[in-house]
Amino acid sequence: MTIAMPQPDPGVLAARDSFLGELAGIVPPDNMVTDEAGLKTYECDGLSAYRELPLGVALPETTGEVARILELCRRYHVKVVPRGSGTGLSGGALPLKDGLLLGLGKFNRILDIDYANRCVTVQPGVTNLAISQAVDHCGFYYAPDPSSQLACSIGGNVAENSGGVHCLKYGVTTNNLLGLEIVLMSGEIVRIGGKYMDSDGYDLLGIVTGSEGLLGVITEVTVRILPKPASVSTLLIGFDDLASAGDCVTRIIASGIIPAGLELMDRAAVHATEDFCKAGYPLDVEALLICELDGPGPEVGELAGRVEEIAEDLGAHTIRRAASEEERERFWLGRKSAFPAVGRISPDYYCIDGTIPRGRLAEVLTRMEDLSTRHGLGVVNVFHAGDGNLHPLIMYDIDKPGDLEKAEALARDILTLCVEVGGVLSGEHGIGVEKRDLMGTMFSDLDLKQQQRVKCAFDPDGLLNPGKVFPVLHRCAELGHMHVHRGQVPFPDLPRF
């Protein structure tokens, strides 16, 4: 591990037995994990390069239990790390040695399906896919579809503001959320929004979404559901060079078409996936686009035709339109198998997540190749091209001394490049511990302090998931202080008054 986490509090470690004893008064023994073997199950999330054993694990089943646990933690000054399914890729659920890991997996019930108001209320441990499955027979679905949707929890989706393949047209989690129930470190239960549009007062839904478990523990989620599109058309478009593929993405969007999904794979990704799952991709391409259009039948057909014209105009080498659902699934098979496919050609891989302006795609891909050569590690590119969300997979071998450090250095360079061209450090995976120390490349000290003041409003003692997102931890008392330079801004001298 090459990132510094907050120093464990010796007082908390010393009081472990007494703390766990009181915890046992809140949750039944089956819902607690305290032995080392059991704790190991929780030592990391989807970012497995970072591991730590938590002080203990609690698996509450009710909002009341969560509130009592948080009150107890505050009394003992025990830090709390919330965790959903543990599929996060930025280490947001990385345990702390002196922190309680709060697993929300037992919050797994769908509470209310309301077709008349087109919304579903669930507990946070319900998986993303389970929501769509529950309303599928009535012709509805929940739009954000992260690739881990089979396993990832909706609570985690809210915490990381997850996206997915189809968010180009339908938005990310924050655009599909109607209500939340959260518990603050004080044990207070706060309900935000509901079955209606636009919550009242400050946009607390907005600030909690994507806050990476640092503001409150999510105990209930209400999302909007959409009618499934009437028809879908999927195109596979191959190019001889990356620049033309990038241009194609830009031209499609500029022409007024918003595809449901627009994905790009580079040569290495095409070959790796073809070897892995035989999706039938053309192997003589430098870049392969998957463009999916959905909506009313006549619209989809017309727009697919326009996309084909753009592709032809740019000299596409292959243009195929899926003629059947079976063929459409085959087009997607390779894309969806990309990660395991890369896992087969490389002992380890590191999935990066950053967003850039679409227009800089070709330039960034070229510069990324140079970086890859410079660091001596291969990079495979599979990503959401339509919204500029890159997912370079850096290939390395953890058993090779120095390889992990090289991979981390390359990742830093790639993310810095994203910021340099006007993009951001994370499109959908979050900052967590992974990109925490890069926050300074995007934000000033003032920006970060203001963000932390929001945290102080929710969690004044800084007990909820500390060590994530922010590179420097400030005490709330220090942040609250206002530096007054009286006399330095003479009011009457200001122009145009």
Residues in 3-62 that interact with other proteins by CB under 8 A: none
Kindly tell me which of 195 and 412 has the beta carbon lying closer to other proteins. Answer: 195
- Residue whose tokens read 């507990």: 123
Q: Pick the closer one to other proteins by CB: 275 or 445.
A: 445
By the rule CB under 8 A, 323 interacts with other proteins: no
**C-alpha 395 chain-centroid distance:** 21
Note whether 301 and 233 are within 8 A (CB).
yes
63: helix, coil or strand? helix
User: By CB under 8 A, is residue 392 in contact with other proteins?
Assistant: no
Tokens of 459: 């969690």
Which residues touch 50 (CB under 8 Å, ≥6 apart)? 1, 3, 44, 91, 94, 433, 434
* Residues near 97 by beta carbon (within 8 Å), at least 6 away in sequence: 8, 13, 52, 53, 54, 55
From residue 70 to residue 89, the character string flagging contacts with other proteins as x (rule: CB under 8 A) and all else as - is --------------------
State the pairing for strand pair 79-83/99-103: parallel
Q: Are 100 and 206 in contact (CB under 8 A)?
A: no
Does 479 bind other proteins (CB under 8 A)? Our answer is yes
Task: Please list every residue from 251 through 290 that binds other proteins, using CB under 8 A.
Answer: 251, 253-254, 256-258
Distance of CA 1 to the CA centre of its chain: 21
Site string for other proteins, 417-456 (x = CB under 8 A): -----xxxxxxxxxx---x---x--xxx-xxx-xx-xxxx
Q: Which of 112, 114, 309, 397 is close enough to bind other proteins by CB under 8 A?
A: 114
Q: Which is nearer to other proteins, 20 or 243 (CB)?
A: 243
Q: Tell me whether residue 106 or residue 191 sits nearer to other proteins (CB atom).
A: 191
Number of residues that bind other proteins (CB under 8 A): 107
161 forms part of the interface with other proteins (CB under 8 A): yes
Binding-site member from 87, 128, 355, 381 for other proteins (CB under 8 A): 355
Q: Which DSSP symbol is given to 200?
A: S
CA distance 192 to 222: 10
- Contact between 358 and other proteins by CB under 8 A: the answer reads yes
Q: How far is the CB of 497 from other proteins (least distance, A)?
A: 6
Among residue numbers 116 through 135, which ones bind other proteins (CB under 8 A)?
Answer: 116-118
Phi, psi of 471, rounded to the nearest 5 degrees: -70, -30
User: 56-58 and 99-103 as β-strands: parallel, antiparallel, unpaired?
Assistant: parallel
Give the interface segment with other proteins, choosing from 8-16, 246-254, 266-274, 396-404 (CB under 8 A): 246-254
In the complex, least distance from residue 370 CB atom to other proteins, rounded to whole angstroms: 23
Smaller CB separation from other proteins, 200 or 312: 200
